[in-house]
Chain A
Amino acid sequence: MPLIRDGKFIEDPFFFVPDGKAYPDEKGVIVTLARFQGERDTLFAHRKLVGVRLASNENPTVLKDDLHRLAAVVLEFPKFRDGRAFSWARMLRTRFDYKGEIRATGDFLFDQLAHMSRVGIDAFEVRQDFKIEDFHRALNEITHPYQPAADGKKTIRELRAG
């Protein structure tokens, strides 16, 4: 699946290993929360890049002690209407000061990209024919936001103050 990271298409440094499957030899790996919790030490011992994939009902707080070692947290959007991941991303950035990759995967809309970016999601698994210009268009449809989020973007109130 094409991956956008920091506004450009990149080769995915991770491989998602479904539950029950064996680990590949190279690459970083992403595993589900349950698997991570069961194999944490092994993973960190043998992998340079470890990521955890959270279902939409899994609160990232459970990862708080491991975040400094996690290269990526993947947030699932099972259905675009399920907006929990917006809070999870925000939480990772502002509560836990997480600096690694926050990736969105699943069913989300072009029209959610701006919101996702504002709450701190910086990587997006997109469909084959998605164009990078459209990504940038999505992020710039509304120039100035009213409220602070996790992106540090200046709010309208701050801009008014000069």
Chain B
Amino acid sequence: MPMAAPVPQMLTANRLKDGDVLYWKAGGWVEALRDGEVFAESAPADVALAEAQSFVTGNVVVNPYLFDVRVDANGIHPVKEREIIRAAGPSVRNDLGKQADPFTSPSVGRSTRAALASTSGGGQSVPMQRPPTRNAAHSDLPTKGEVKEETSSMDSFDVSI
């Protein structure tokens, strides 16, 4: 008896230092759903989820998990409303969240983004080097190479006793 086709999945998490939503791609994380990796089979999805744990223990992300998507001619679409909203931003404020930035918006086509990238010089193809999505008061978001936030010289002390 043929099995039903597996539901495609993606892997997501939140970045620890700022809570931003991230998507897994090829051993790392990107900010836009459209740039993320789609797993057609559950085996590679599980492998990725296991790999993602190193980013948890490395204190880069929290709570990675897999979620269902479907893929069609128009792109990648999360199945659940929650993930649709998570990929875009609040549905009641389209000026906020990923939807407000063409580089992270789920609804902006690839060609448009490529065009924007070539004019603005923004790193569309480089994960995690996004222009800040907040006002200029904030320092830039870290690049992929930066794993740890600078801490003050805290004495190391054991936490869980």
Contacts and interface: CB of A to CB of B under 8 A. Distances in A.
Chains A and B touch each other in the complex, with CB atoms below 8 Å apart: yes
Interface of A: 107-110, 113, 124-127, 129-131, 133-134, 137
A137 B154 CA distance: 12
A107 B159 CA distance: 11
Nearest to B160: A109
B26 interface: no
Contacts of A137: 157
Contacts of B161: 108-110, 113, 124-127, 130
9 contacts: A110-B159, A110-B161, A124-B161, A127-B158, A130-B161, A131-B157, A131-B158, A133-B157, A134-B158
B155 interface: yes
Interface string B132-161: 000000000000000000000001011111
Contacts of B159: 109-110
Ranked 5 nearest A-B pairs via Cβ: A134-B157, A126-B161, A130-B158, A110-B159, A127-B161
Nearest to A2: B161
Contacts of A129: 158
